[in-house]
Amino acid sequence: MFSTLERSAAKILDLPEGDSRVLFLRSDDLTHGDIATSAALQLSKSLGQSPKVLAEKIVAGLTGHPDVVRCEVAGPGFVNVWLRPEVFVSLLPRVLEHTNATPTRKEQPVIVEYSQPNIAKPLGVHHLLGTIIGQAVANLYRHAGFPVISWNYVGDWGTQFGKLSVAFELWGSKPVAQCSLDELLELYVRFHEELEKDASLEEKGREASRKLEQGDATLRAFWADVVTVTKNSLASVYKELHVSFDLDLGESFYEDKMAPVLEEGIAKGVFVEGDGGALIVKFPEESGMPPYLVRRGDGGTLYSTRDIAQMRYRIDTYNPQRILIFTDVAQKLHFEQLVATCQQLGWKLPPFENVLFGRMRFADKSMSTRKGNILKLEEVLNEAVSRAEAIIESRGDAIQTDDPKELAQQMGIGAVAYSILSQNRKMDMVFDWDKMLSFEGNSAPYVQYTYARTQSVLRKAGVESVELSGPVSQLADHERQLAGTLLQFPGALREALASHSPHMLANHLYQLCQDFNAFYGAQQILKADEPHRSLRLRFTEATARVLRAGAQILTIALPDRM
């Protein structure tokens, strides 16, 4: 953002052309100027001069620079710089460029896999994490111009179908296609209850699984119906969450793609015989990894077999520049073994990351103590919306909306999604109704309210886009603070993308909202004299655009009134 000054400072230090070691960053505090550099400290060794001397050199050289009001040496060798108002104004268009998605570049795709629920079960609240974080990261990649394939690798294969078909046979009362997901779940739960009394069910389930895998037509039809019922139900939850996928090819898709891979592994001596005729992969002792089971003793394939086949398929079909798979930490070992297996097979993998996230913890104890039974995501989302409804009603005239139902939807769903995206994914995440629905603090309603405020100002100003009426000689502190934060948007996008951490973007939006609200409280905007009025409208408009772009990446809907 501050490349002009960075280049000038580099020149002052006699660095070679193109040397990019001098960086200016936003100062933490306005009393330390608008931006600062620690270049003198960092380059002291390589330039053979003390930080103080280098810092003084930079200050002397920058004094009188057209962008600079004042600069000073601070502490052991920092350089603080106060910028002219025109610099903020002239950099705004560059910030606003980043509010539009970069046109998609023609290059190899990035595969982003997330959500991946298992078929025949409703989404549980724990699915939220991977689903929302994965979607936000896919959105970050798209916004930055990468071609993205978002992929829902549904768990539509495995022993659960055998069990379900037995339960259905015994206790089902209508065609599968007419069952709700809840009814299917009930059957599945009943199977496990009855299993305690009648151990023979286990074998029946296994037998059905085997027949299904061998292509039994009736079981196939049953399976296809169950998949359809589940996918329809998933679709409505995804829609509410603004989550979507380019592909939902699940485990079953790899059914006919495992045999060649197994043959290759055997031929290459990577898949060797383990206990009871199973096929396993062994890893060097130093790796600390246990053997990886890739085929059962009875010839049946596994979750691992499908993932190996899928890695091959993705590389052959899409030649991706990168593959990301979002899962919780329970799957860490599985993916380490998977990658090591592919390497033993001699496959060349693109950069691969199993992007991990923490567990969900509940502030409300009653949510975590429901043993056995999963807490359904749909119920949680419904509760979020009805809580938002109650809040809107209790606030009365303090909330302006033409459509309270729609607003409650935006607020409730936004609150749940934002509460996840505003927390560092690597830590356990806290689910806290009061915090996520609060109008103060780092929450969706706060961001939504602030956005609605910008819209109200711009509506009253009655302008489509703001033209500046002339130069402003000085900025008030609230304006400097807001302007400085606006300039950080491109960096926040970059960092959130590089570390696959949407909370870095959420935190930026939160800071921006705080700065905008302080600015709004301290300054007249519409009644100010020119040129201040148009400059303040311009800051308001820029704030709105950054919030809109950021919220869209984070799947949060923004209301025009609130």
Place of tokens 């709004």: 520
Token digits of residue 8: 């000038």
Residue 517 backbone phi and psi in degrees, to 5: -65, -35
Choice from 44, 139, 327, 423 touching ligand ARG (CB under 6 A):
327
In the complex, least distance from residue 285 CB atom to ligand ARG, rounded to whole angstroms: 26
- Is residue 133 involved in binding ligand ARG (CB under 6 A)? no
In the complex, least distance from residue 303 CB atom to ligand ARG, rounded to whole angstroms: 7
- Is residue 499 involved in binding ligand ARG (CB under 6 A)? no
- Is residue 118 involved in binding ligand ARG (CB under 6 A)? yes
Choice from 22, 73, 138, 325 touching ligand ARG (CB under 6 A):
325
Segment interacting with ligand ARG (CB under 6 A) among 112-120, 189-197, 267-275, 547-555: 112-120
Judged by beta carbon, residue 118 or residue 321, the one nearer ligand ARG is 118
Contact 352, 308 (CB under 8 A): no
- Is residue 115 involved in binding ligand ARG (CB under 6 A)? no
Judged by beta carbon, residue 356 or residue 492, the one nearer ligand ARG is 356
- Is residue 149 involved in binding ligand ARG (CB under 6 A)? no
- Is residue 116 involved in binding ligand ARG (CB under 6 A)? yes
What are the C-alpha distances in Å from 454 to residues 101, 424, 459, 471, 535? 22, 28, 9, 23, 14
Tell whether the torsion through CA atoms of 24, 29, 33 and 38 is positive or negative. negative
- Is residue 307 involved in binding ligand ARG (CB under 6 A)? yes
Q: Rounded to an integer, what distance in angstroms lies between the CA atom of residue 73 and that of residue 55?
A: 6
- In sequence order, what DSSP letters do the residues of 296-354 get, joined into one string? -TTS-B-HHHHHHHHHHHHHHHH--SEEEEEEEGGGHHHHHHHHHHHHHTT--PPPEEE
Judged by beta carbon, residue 253 or residue 520, the one nearer ligand ARG is 253
Token digits of residue 367: 């949510």
- Is residue 155 involved in binding ligand ARG (CB under 6 A)? yes
- In sequence order, what DSSP letters do the residues of 497-515 get, joined into one string? HHTT-THHHHHHHHHHHHH
In the complex, least distance from residue 307 CB atom to ligand ARG, rounded to whole angstroms: 5
Judged by beta carbon, residue 121 or residue 508, the one nearer ligand ARG is 121
Segment interacting with ligand ARG (CB under 6 A) among 15-23, 113-121, 356-364, 372-380: 113-121
Cα-only R_g, the chain: 29
- How many chain residues bind ligand ARG (CB under 6 A)? 8
Judged by beta carbon, residue 360 or residue 444, the one nearer ligand ARG is 360
Segment interacting with ligand ARG (CB under 6 A) among 12-20, 111-119, 411-419, 503-511: 111-119
In the complex, least distance from residue 110 CB atom to ligand ARG, rounded to whole angstroms: 15
Q: Rounded to an integer, what distance in angstroms lies between the CA atom of residue 528 and that of residue 537?
A: 10
- Is residue 341 involved in binding ligand ARG (CB under 6 A)? no
Residue 222, CB-side half-sphere exposure with 13 Å CA sphere: 24
Q: Rounded to an integer, what distance in angstroms lies between the CA atom of residue 506 and that of residue 550?
A: 8
Instruction: Write out the residues near ligand ARG by the rule CB under 6 A.
Output: 113, 116, 118, 153, 155, 307, 325, 327
